[in-house]
Amino acid sequence: MNIGDLSKQSGISAKTIRYYEAQGLLPAPPRLENGYRDYPDSAVSELGFLRRARQFGFSLQECGQLVQLWRNPKRRSAEVHQLVTERQQQVAQQIAELQETQQLLTDLLSRCADNNSPHCAIIDSLSERSNG
């Protein structure tokens, strides 16, 4: 199948498919006499796997590790578990940081008179933090 068909079936752009190929995430397919790539039907599944891994926020390097594990029938589930555990911990850290940011913004908003006065407690607070 050509890259256009693969793109349609997988929902991944041809540019991204070529990028994944260049990064070694997708095996380079054989080429036809005209030089066009000839992807096997299994490439649709591989790209679906990569798309889902990316949706979970795995980096390209982590996706590469996951793909290698997926392709390896002798893989150890403990390796997959470790990768997902690390990603889950990263997400938990991001959530904690976002919650802290949300609380800081809520605190800033509580200081604001929200009127037509030129005095702005939010600006004052931001100035203090940047100077201190």
pLDDT at 127 over 70: yes
Using an 8 Å Cβ cutoff, are 58 and 91 in contact? Answer: no
Residue where the block lists tokens 């403990």? 78
Confidence of residue 95 (pLDDT cuts 50, 70, 90): very high
Q: What is the pLDDT of residues 36-74, one digit of tens each?
A: 999 999 999 999 999 999 999 999 999 999 999 999 999
Highest mean pLDDT among 100-104, 121-125, 126-130: 100-104
> For the stretch 96-118, what's the b/e string if a residue is b when 16 or more beta carbons lie within 10 angstroms of its beta carbon?
eeeeeeeeeeeeeeeeeeeeeee
Q: How far apart are CA 84 and CA 73, in angstroms?
A: 19
Distances (CA, A) of 111 to 97, 102, 131: 22, 15, 19
Using an 8 Å Cβ cutoff, are 74 and 40 in contact? Answer: no
Using an 8 Å Cβ cutoff, are 1 and 39 in contact? Answer: yes
Q: What is the largest distance, in Å, between two alpha-carbon atoms of the chain?
A: 73
Q: Of all residues in the chain, what percent carry a pLDDT higher than 70?
A: 97
Query: Which residues lie below 8 Å from residue 78, measured CB to CB, with a gap of 6+?
Result: none
Using an 8 Å Cβ cutoff, are 113 and 127 in contact? Answer: no
Q: How far apart are CA 12 and CA 25, in angstroms?
A: 14
